[in-house]
Amino acid sequence: MPDDINITIDGVDVKTQPGKMVLEAAIEAGIYVPYLCYHSGMKPFAACRMCVVAVEGGRGYPASCTLPVQDGMKIRSESQDVTELRRSVMQMLIAEHPNGCLTCHRIDICGPSDVCLRHVSVNDRCITCPKNERCEFKDTVRYLGMELESPLNYEYRQIPLEVSDPFYDRDYNLCITCGRCVRVCEEVRGDAAICFTERSGRALVGTSFGTSLLESGCEFCGACIDVCPVGALVERNHKWEKPRSVEPTICPHCPVGCQLNLEFNGSGAMIRAVPEFNSPANHGQACFKGKFGLEFLNDSRRLTQPMIRRNGELQPADWEEALDLISARLEDTPADSFALLASPNSTNEELYLAQKFARVVMNTNNVGQTSDVQPQLTVGLERSLGYAAATNSLWELERSGCILVFNSNLTEEQNVVGVPIKKAARRGASLIVIDPREVELTRYAGLWLRPTPGTELLLLGGILKALLAQNLERQEWIERHGEVSATLRYALDSLDMDEVSVATNVSRFSIEEAAQAFGQADTSAIVYAQDNVPEELQDDCVQALVNLAFLTGNLGKPGAGLFPLRPGANEQGAYDVGCAPHRLPGNRRFRNREARQSLESVWECSLPETAGLSLAQTIQAAADGRLKSMLIVGDSPNFTNGRLGDALTALGSLDFLVVHDTFPGPLTDLADVVLPRSTFAEKDGTWTNLERRIQRLQPVGKKAPDGPRSELWLLAELAHRRGAAGFDHASPAAVMDEIAAVSPIYAGVSYDRLEAQSVTVFRSGLDSPQPTQLLYSGQERRGIQWPCPPDGPASTPILYVDEFPGGQANPITPQFRAPETQADPDFPDLLAPGRVLLQLDQETRVHKGRVNRIEREELLRMNPAYAAGRGIADGDLVEAQTKDGVHLGQARLDDSVPPGMISITGIFGQLAVDLQASPEPDPMSHAPALDILPARVAKVEAATPAD
């Protein structure tokens, strides 16, 4: 920390540090200096001139947002001349901004629900502005205490409203052109979907060429809305509603664990989500799912009462009846004929009880959760390094020198992870993307390696070999932390680079370039998923990535490490607390003798010996009739998207299916007993995000409805009915205490300690105007990144800083190979769907109307040689048939597409339109993923047009 220096603002002493700006120092000291274009989350812009100050001995009126502090500086902020200057600018602003909310003579008399008496023309009425009484601009005008008589003429600007794009409305008549939205879109989100338009008195914000947001590259993250100081940008849902209360929660849609502040109206309905500014997990950012995907909390289709199927029909029942029935049926179920699937958004406490229930009460290891389709994702991390979790913290990626993104569509599935990655890429970090599909990050990648689907492991082998060939391994670091195993050298020696290049369809040059970029950067990070890696190769792929990080010394330091990306909000927690068939609490292998013994003594039981069924095996076993009864918590897209085969039919053949869910759906249609489930917003507990951050979730909003119950309650009740001990916890905190006691990685975690990690952020008083996000941000809730042993650090942002749990790292040598696939003769090709925000080489036509609609011609990109072999020429009409449907479009020959693959790239705007129009209560949790599918491509002989 640089030494403190002292300045005074209006005579008040302020301690600050060199490098800060005066406005920053003032805000931190709790002194209010008015501003409109400045926002703490962004670089200053110096446009609004509202924060001008006078400096003793200095000339003129510099803007304090860009005035660097100097020791001994004496600032005047509230003097007459400064205030006059601010008022003069404000006077001009309210001469172009509808101002009935300030000038109507009834503002002191009108009550909140009075009918407008129409003293002001309709466009200028306070009630015409969606931000009325929650407007930062209006607060600032009031703060300046202005005379609202003005010699300047006011005229309504009559700019047409933009209300046809998904999710939000834009009314530029209310815009003051402060540029916060433009800057947040470019500087923070890296999208630049909106820009300044025109200049001079007509300067405004819009999209380039005046297009709709669908075709401007907008990702509908809502960041622009969050920073807008006026009513120009607002969420369409509940547009006119004002919050009665604001309460903090965590987004349930993905494992980033974005902290959100939810606004509730007077009747308790959730009306808006504003990402928490001081959140370490999301830094004030959210995405389309968090921002616009929580409407389900208000959906009236909720299940509110238990139901029991009688004579083929679900009939209402009470909880007692339902629980007794379940208990009786489970009594009759043999141990390994039962399986329990929890939800990836159950809390840690619930997941812990779920696995304990399965193991102790049902004596089976058949327990897991419904999003676990990539069980191999972190196994390799644990075996090689020690912990089955991300090694570093998410926002370190901002400062990484090189980022390798492997097989992940993270900008849609874990969107906020993309924010620091894009930022790094724009700053100049090398971004390497390995993916056969064209996804958003491929547009940012300096190097996009596009392997033939299935050859990802070979490609990683090639990169490792090139790395060693270029002597890029960090010898000194490796010697301190392990060794380059002889088996790895042997395995790589036997790889032939030319063969790798042919098999993967990635040039040798690109492979070497990737190795060089990754090996030479100061810090290189790996962000990976296994979206389309064949299951048999998944573990080896992880091992290859671990080797890559290990050889280059990219472990245990900021900006480096490995980040496995799971889809579910609390999947990390599920593994941590043992809600997985092969894992005991603490993510220990279920055969781990020491773990078994200690658990058996605490739980006073003997643990089941047989291995549990994975998610895929569970569905298979249900189909085979090996499973009799199941308890499933929550819906999951995996039951219907084909990743688990025909899961619904399999589950339909069970003897007894209990579904604990929030909304009716295809799963409840099959169930014998349906139990209403609490939403995340009604629960007390913790979630663990993808960077091992344990965050507290607390009930928000109106009092939970009477019917639905949490898993915590349900499992305790069932256990009680089965006469099992050890389920009578007084509170979720007590469950966490038990988790901490039995699970070494959670040792030291307690609700008290979580509470202690929460610090009060200074904010100027509520009476001074400030951005909504800052207004809502009173606490920085840091959570705890495990491990946090009672006698050790309170949180561990980076693993393996000093050493590995086993002393040394022990990377395992993968077997570099291609998958053993037998191509389906009916579908010999592969269809690789992609999706990007913006595609410049493919014309997108948007039909503007009440709802904007995208019209575009599908392009099927394929390898030229491969196409030639099938008699397909560039521009031909072709179709790609999959099991589920057919894609018709124009063939486009493209060298970058591997032979045998057809690439189709959709546009995100279309997805946004579909999600907005979806009748589902919770469409965001079912946003379609990009799965590579077997397909058959053929030329379509165009019918000769009738003359």
Partner 1 sequence: MDFAAITAEAARRWDSLTEGETPWIRVGAALCGKAAGCDDVIDALRSSLERRGLPGQVSEVGCLGLCFAEPLVDVKLPGGTRVFYGNVTPETADEIIAAHLGQDSPPAHLALGTLGPTSVAGIPDLSQHPMKARETRIALRNAGDIDPGDIYQYIANGGYRALEKSLTQLTPQEMLEQVNASGLRGRGGAAFPAGTKWNFLAGSNAPEKYILCNCEEGDPGAFNDKGILESDPHTVVEGIILAGYATGASHGYIFVRYGHDGPIDRARAAVRQAYELGLLGENILDSGFSFDLEVALTGDSYVSGEETALMEAIEGKRSMPRYRPPFPAQVGVFGKPTNINNVKTLAYVPEIVARGGEWFAGIGHDRSTGTAILCLTGALNYTGMVEVPMGLTLGEVLYEVAGGVTGGKALKLVQTGGPLGGVLGAENVDLVLDFEVFREAGAILGSGGIIAADEDTCIVDLTRALIAFCQYESCGKCFPCRMGMSHLLEVLERICRLEGVPGDLDLMRSIGLNMQAGSLCGHGQLGFNPVSSAIKYFGPEFEAHILDHRCPTGACANPRFSPSLTRR
Q: What is the DSSP letter of 407?
A: S
768 binds partner 1 (CB under 8 A): no
Q: Show Cβ contacts of residue 68 under 8 Å, excluding neighbours closer than 6 positions.
A: 18, 19, 20, 21, 22
Question: Which one of the spans 84-92, 325-333, 702-710, 893-901 is the region binding partner 1 (CB under 8 A)?
Answer: 84-92
Question: Which one of the spans 153-161, 567-575, 625-633, 875-883 is the region binding partner 1 (CB under 8 A)?
Answer: 153-161
47 binds partner 1 (CB under 8 A): yes
Separation CA 561–CA 519 (nearest Å): 13
Question: Per the structure block, which two tokens stand in for 271?
Answer: 């009306």
Total residues contacting partner 1 (rule CB under 8 A)?
A: 37
Among 60, 210, 765, 885, binds partner 1 (CB under 8 A): 60
Mark 817-856 with x for binding to partner 1 (rule: CB under 8 A) and - for no binding: ----------------------------------------
179 binds partner 1 (CB under 8 A): yes
- Return the SS3 of 433: strand
Q: Which is nearer to partner 1, 202 or 310 (CB)?
A: 202
Q: Show Cβ contacts of residue 721 under 8 Å, excluding neighbours closer than 6 positions.
A: 323, 324, 327
Q: Tell which positions 180-239 bind partner 1, by CB under 8 A.
A: 195-196, 198-203
2 binds partner 1 (CB under 8 A): no
CA-wise closest residue to 690 among 400, 377, 370, 403: 377
Q: What DSSP letter does each residue of 752-792 carry, written as one string?
A: HHHHHTEEEPP---TTS---HHHHT--EEE--EES---TTS
User: Which residue bears the tokens 């509808």?
Assistant: 98
Mark 880-899 with x for binding to partner 1 (rule: CB under 8 A) and - for no binding: --------------------
Check: CB of residue 439 under 8 Å from CB of residue 836.
Answer: yes
**Positions of E strands within 224-325:** 233-235, 245-250, 259-264, 270-275, 307-310, 313-316
Question: Which one of the spans 42-50, 270-278, 770-778, 802-810 is the region binding partner 1 (CB under 8 A)?
Answer: 42-50
Give, for 269, the enclosing helix (H) or strand (E).
Answer: none
Question: Per the structure block, which two tokens stand in for 173?
Answer: 């008549």
Q: Which is nearer to partner 1, 21 or 529 (CB)?
A: 21
Which amino acid makes up residue 217?
G
Among 7, 14, 23, 52, binds partner 1 (CB under 8 A): 52
Check: CB of residue 578 under 8 Å from CB of residue 352.
Answer: yes
Least distance CB 35 / partner 1 (angstroms): 12
Q: Which is nearer to partner 1, 29 or 95 (CB)?
A: 95
Among 4, 19, 70, 92, binds partner 1 (CB under 8 A): 92
Separation CA 695–CA 706 (nearest Å): 26
Mark 132-151 with x for binding to partner 1 (rule: CB under 8 A) and - for no binding: -------------------x
Separation CA 470–CA 485 (nearest Å): 18
Q: Which is nearer to partner 1, 94 or 297 (CB)?
A: 94
48 binds partner 1 (CB under 8 A): yes
Separation CA 358–CA 339 (nearest Å): 8
Least distance CB 212 / partner 1 (angstroms): 21
Question: Which one of the spans 22-30, 60-68, 313-321, 397-405 is the region binding partner 1 (CB under 8 A)?
Answer: 60-68
Query: What is the CB-side half-sphere exposure of residue 110 using CA atoms within 13 A?
Result: 20
Least distance CB 67 / partner 1 (angstroms): 9
Angle at 414 between CA 413 and CA 418, to 5 degrees: 115
Q: What DSSP letter does each residue of 544-574 carry, written as one string?
A: HHHHHHHHTT-SSSTT-EEEE--SSTTHHHH
Residues present in the chain in total: 947
Separation CA 679–CA 709 (nearest Å): 9
153 binds partner 1 (CB under 8 A): yes
Among 63, 647, 658, 838, binds partner 1 (CB under 8 A): 63
Least distance CB 90 / partner 1 (angstroms): 9
Least distance CB 187 / partner 1 (angstroms): 12
Separation CA 757–CA 626 (nearest Å): 47
Among 66, 103, 327, 808, binds partner 1 (CB under 8 A): 66
Q: Tell which positions 96-125 bind partner 1, by CB under 8 A.
A: 96
Separation CA 548–CA 460 (nearest Å): 8
Least distance CB 196 / partner 1 (angstroms): 6
Among 128, 164, 177, 337, binds partner 1 (CB under 8 A): 177
Least distance CB 137 / partner 1 (angstroms): 12
Give, for 145, the enclosing helix (H) or strand (E).
Answer: none
766 binds partner 1 (CB under 8 A): no
812 binds partner 1 (CB under 8 A): no
Q: Which is nearer to partner 1, 95 or 940 (CB)?
A: 95
CA-wise closest residue to 667 among 294, 314, 296, 310: 314
Q: Tell which positions 156-175 bind partner 1, by CB under 8 A.
A: 157
Least distance CB 123 / partner 1 (angstroms): 14
Question: Which one of the spans 55-63, 482-490, 650-658, 820-828 is the region binding partner 1 (CB under 8 A)?
Answer: 55-63
Separation CA 833–CA 856 (nearest Å): 15
877 binds partner 1 (CB under 8 A): no
Q: Which is nearer to partner 1, 176 or 403 (CB)?
A: 176
First to last CA, the chain: 80
- Greatest CA span in the chain, whole angstroms? 89
Least distance CB 29 / partner 1 (angstroms): 22
Binding site for partner 1 (CB under 8 A): 44-50, 52, 60-61, 63, 66, 68, 84-85, 88-89, 92-93, 95-96, 151-153, 155, 157, 176-177, 179, 195-196, 198-203
